Structure 1
Amino acid sequence: MQKLGDFQSAHTLSDQELVSALAHIHTTETSLTAAKLAVLAESDRRGLALKLGYSSVAYWHAKSTRTPEAQSAHHIRLGYWLTQHPTVAHALTDADIHHAHATAIADGHTLIHTADPTLDDDALNAHVATLLDVATRSLASTVTTRARELAHHAAADAQARHDATRKAAEAHEAARRAREEQARRDAEEKARRTGTPDPAPRPDDTADPAPGDDPAPDLPDGPRPPSAAENPALNVLKIFQLPDGRSRVEGNLDTLTAEKLRTALSPLTAPKPGPGGSLDPRSPARRNADGLAEILDRHLAGGKGTTFTAPDRVNLIVNLADLLTRPCNHASAGEGSPL
């Protein structure tokens, strides 16, 4: 029987037994984690909490194990996701990946789908396969990095498809109008030569595509999809409680939100001279942290007792494509029109 050791016997194991014990513990621990996620998800699916007299399985499990309810809720969500993605579930059960890898893959799947909601199941499953391959060879943080790269590509592809579809639809409409105009001119020329006026061609007669033409493509639904850099739906802000009582903040924000944060911090993070005019000893990172703390203090105080007032701002956001393709029609404004 394999020796695993404990606090009383670990010192008696040989070097090889220690290595084997750690490998066996890792495999067993990961397999048990997979089983835990599956059982939690199934318990929630059955509504087991109500039978036990609790409002939710997450609350019941957290109460029973004296762990944070948010952690149990996360495990249930991950269990549901793994049930729908058996390749990742099997990799976790077989200890080919860790629980952290499975979480990173699931989060990456959500991120990519958010970047391009039009992706079908086959495309999403292909991205999951890519992330799983990365997970078997790298850290969970690398999986997250790769997922963000795929999300950026997905958003760019969505924009390209939208632009190509709109361009094709507009070209088709321009060709139809050109045929209609040419038919009208032909009719006028025929009437001039024969002296017998012909009725103007009906739009229904000239709107039909010419022989061999493709059918008119539909215009894309909705506005142009945002790029990953501009998409606030991809924003995340995490606050991790550290063992020493402090907290670590980690975030990923869209361009506009990040600019708002910089604008709010800017007047509060300027270096302040020390006694005698000495240089501010604080690093830029420390000044950012102090500025954030001051913003929070002022917000929680409701602005009372401070001179801080946010200036009125008007943000006008115009797509570059609209500015390039829809120039202002100055002729439409009469002379003397108010500005």
Structure 2
Amino acid sequence: MIDALEQAEAAVAACSNLAVWAADERDLVAALDAAHRTEQRLAAVKLTLVRELDGRGTATVQGASSTAVWLRDRLRVGVGAARRLVKLAATFDAAPTGVRDALAAGTVDVEQVRVIADTVQTAHTTAGAQAADKAVGVLVGWAAQFDAALLRKLGTRILDHVAPDVADAAAEAALRAQESRAVRDRHVTVSEQPDGRLRLTGILDTEAAALLRAAIDPLTAPTGPDDTRTPGQRRHDAVADVCRLALRTGELPENGGDPTQIVVTTGYDGLTRQLGSGALDFGQQLTPETVRRLACDAAILPAILGGAGQTLDVGRQRRLITGPLRRALVLRDRGCAFPGCDRPPRWCDAHHIRHWADGGGTSLDNAVLLCGHHHRHIHRGDWSVRLGGDGHPEFVPPVWLDPAQLPRRNQYHRRT
């Protein structure tokens, strides 16, 4: 074996020194196929050697704590890769003869071997040895056409081909087991960070995953060419939009005897001078800009205190753009009024053009519908909004974007 491997090594070394640029395309493709077959055949030899060394306990004899650790030092690979190699060697050793022969012949690769072995084992457990033997032939044939990922997907219906009499019952049992695992493993963990942000982790079951995708997918598309948010940031903002919509419905259960709401506490003077920060009811601080933006959102209930701490106002109803006034606003704007945005009214906040804390009234001529993203955009101050001569909102871009600062309008909703 050593002589044969040394000869193979010498042949490969000779190939490394050849000028491939001189070969025509057909020869290059043929050489690539041959190199891949050789690589898989060498993989079969390597797995056989690893399995034999592991079985003999060579690693322990040489002072290593495990075969994986020994391979890490011997082959200079990561310990994770070494563990996977030991596991795959065991899988290869236990695989049916047809699978081992296919790898030795270079017709399958090591990842396909892993998939085939797992699938054959499932077929054996479900339908017996005869079905497992048939599955080997079918899967090896498929491996000539499909990569490991697609092979695993096709393998989920292997019983349709090798044991159709039990396939439906087995598929139903597997689906029930999968559903049971999903119900058991479902969870969401909310971890509060020191700066008030939250880290969300978890696993959703199939139904909840479908609901989440259906809710946020329409909201994750870029809002226009100037939308520089990353996909992750767009998904974050979509989840926030869904929460705003849920709060706006009024159908959430009460929390501590009150309707579900966000409470922001701030000083009245600081709010009017755009200088005061605010505090949420669980203690985290908000910037003055965020406080002012939330204060004009009809889905947010502010709590405003005077200098001596006395309550001046908690959610003044005359400030909120609700009822007939919001319906009139929806009829006028038909959705987010920012140029190019297609967000529908239900995803929008009612923004005071002149902030209510600055004396702006709660009326149709001082309001505009904005989605959450563009509401934040407007509060950053680069753009300004006003009503045109026909009573419809128009937006003035910043000088750096348009030196002439020509007003722009949303034409999207006008088309519908």
TM range (shorter): 0.3 to 0.5
Q: Which has the higher contact order (CA 8 A, sep 6+)?
A: 1
Normalising by structure 2, report the TM-score: 0.39
Normalising by structure 1, report the TM-score: 0.47
Q: Greater share of helix residues, 1 or 2?
A: 1
Q: Greater share of strand residues, 1 or 2?
A: 2
